[in-house]
């Protein structure tokens, strides 16, 4: 499992060497855009409208913040790197402990499994058992993906897991939601409420994540496999008058499209982590 972060987690005076591993694997089906006639992948060039240059080179691109209409302040890489270095969290300190129920799910962002580095297994186990016995979660700050995050540490089965959460100013408030009905505007009959509660109770089950799947993704993959089996595929037409660059792009696309389709792995039930 790929390591996305490595460092120390401090629990009071106890230091635990840890590694973070992404707990989520994106399963989107990647589709690309190609030209419908010659079947060459579309290349999106960076341009500046109104500029004399046809295409912008990477070295000509700088970071800026628009503080007013068409008014920018430019931030160079040295300034940004210095700021990131100053506020980078290299060691994760548990600042406090809270109840998980106190944090609304709207705050949660990404999840990472935590594993101990060699020699830190006992301290890791100590923290895990302490969280299990108290029912608490740890509140920390950590630097991931070039920014500082607020996060919590909790127990999932036999593993510690870190979940980044949004800062309060990143979460919109309920009063910004339009057209919310007021309870004084409508009269809910007792029999209507009883019927609704009865329906909720009848549909209540224990949550089993294995019982759900992305039906659209499965159907899309089935459609793609069917087209491959029926040889309903297309090959790019190469125009000999094109320049070498365009021909090489078409050849590269042809090589990719004529590769043997990978065998579909047998579906097995995921083991509990």
Q: Per the structure, how many domains does the chain have?
A: 2
pLDDT digits (tens, 9 = 90+) for 51-107: 776 677 778 888 888 878 888 888 888 888 888 777 666 678 898 999 999 999 999
pLDDT digits (tens, 9 = 90+) for 125-165: 999 999 999 999 999 988 887 778 899 999 999 999 999 99
104 and 226: one domain? no
143 and 22: one domain? yes
For the beta carbon of residue 202, count every other beta carbon within 10 angstroms. Answer: 8
243 assigned to some structural domain: yes
Q: Which domain holds residue 151?
A: 5-29+58-169
Q: Tokens 């628009």 map to which residue?
A: 66
Q: What pLDDT is attached to residue 272? A: 41
CATH number at residue 9: 2.40.290.10
pLDDT digits (tens, 9 = 90+) for 175-216: 888 998 888 888 888 998 999 999 999 989 888 878 877 777
* Region class of 146: left (phi > 0), else alpha (psi between -120 and 50), else beta: left
Distances (CA, A) of 233 to 229, 230, 257: 9, 8, 9
CA distance 102 to 170: 18
Decide if 3 contacts 21 (C-beta within 8 A): yes
Mean pLDDT within 216-225? 81
136 and 75: one domain? yes
151 and 228: one domain? no
- In the structure encoding, which two tokens stand for residue 110, read together? 């990404």
142 and 67: one domain? yes
40 assigned to some structural domain: no
Number of H helices, E strands in the chain: 5, 10
89 and 127: one domain? yes
Q: Tokens 């590694």 map to which residue?
A: 19
35 assigned to some structural domain: no
244 assigned to some structural domain: yes
Q: What pLDDT is attached to residue 249? A: 64
pLDDT digits (tens, 9 = 90+) for 12-57: 888 899 999 999 887 888 888 888 888 888 887 777 777 776 677 7
Of the two residues 32 and 259, the one the predictor is more confident about is 32
CA distance 138 to 95: 7
CA distance 241 to 219: 40
* Region class of 182: left (phi > 0), else alpha (psi between -120 and 50), else beta: beta
99 and 228: one domain? no
Residue 247 has pLDDT above 80, yes or no: no
In the predicted model, what is the mean pLDDT of the chain? 82
Q: What pLDDT is attached to residue 213? A: 79
Mean pLDDT within 210-226? 80
Q: What pLDDT is attached to residue 85? A: 75
Q: What pLDDT is attached to residue 171? A: 92
Instruction: Give the rounded percent of residues in the chain with a pLDDT score beyond 90.
Output: 31
* DSSP single-letter state for residue 198: H
41 assigned to some structural domain: no
Residue 273 has pLDDT above 50, yes or no: no
- Kindly calculate the radius of gyration of the chain based on its CA atoms and give it in whole angstroms: 27
164 and 222: one domain? no
Q: What pLDDT is attached to residue 236? A: 62
11 and 132: one domain? yes
């Amino acid at each position: 499992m790929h390591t996305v972060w490595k460092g120390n987690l401090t629990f009071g005076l106890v230091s635990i060497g840890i590694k973070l591993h992404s707990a989520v694997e994106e399963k989107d089906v990647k589709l690309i855009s190609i030209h419908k006639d010659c079947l060459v992948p579309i290349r999106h060039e960076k341009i500046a409208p109104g500029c004399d240059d046809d295409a912008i080179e990477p070295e000509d691109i700088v970071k800026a913040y628009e503080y007013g209409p068409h008014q920018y302040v430019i931030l160079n890489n040295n300034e940004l790197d210095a700021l990131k270095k100053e506020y980078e969290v290299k060691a994760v300190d548990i600042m406090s402990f809270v109840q998980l129920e106190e944090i609304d799910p709207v705050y949660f962002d990404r999840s990472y499994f935590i594993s101990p580095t060699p020699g830190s297994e006992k301290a890791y186990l100590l923290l895990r058992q302490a969280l299990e016995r108290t029912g608490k979660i740890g509140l920390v700050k950590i630097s991931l993906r070039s920014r500082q995050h607020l996060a919590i540490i909790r127990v999932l089965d036999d593993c510690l897991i870190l979940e980044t959460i949004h800062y309060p100013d990143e979460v919109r408030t309920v009063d910004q939601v339009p057209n919310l009905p007021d309870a004084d505007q409508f009269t809910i009959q007792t029999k209507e409420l009883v019927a609704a509660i009865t329906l909720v109770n009848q549909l209540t089950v224990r949550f089993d994540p294995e019982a759900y799947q992305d039906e659209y993704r499965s159907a899309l993959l089935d459609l793609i496999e069917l087209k491959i089996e029926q040889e309903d595929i297309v090959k790019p037409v190469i125009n000999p008058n094109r320049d070498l660059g365009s021909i090489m792009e078409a050849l590269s696309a042809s090589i990719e499209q004529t590769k043997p389709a990978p065998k579909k792995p047998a579906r097995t039930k995921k083991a509990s982590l």
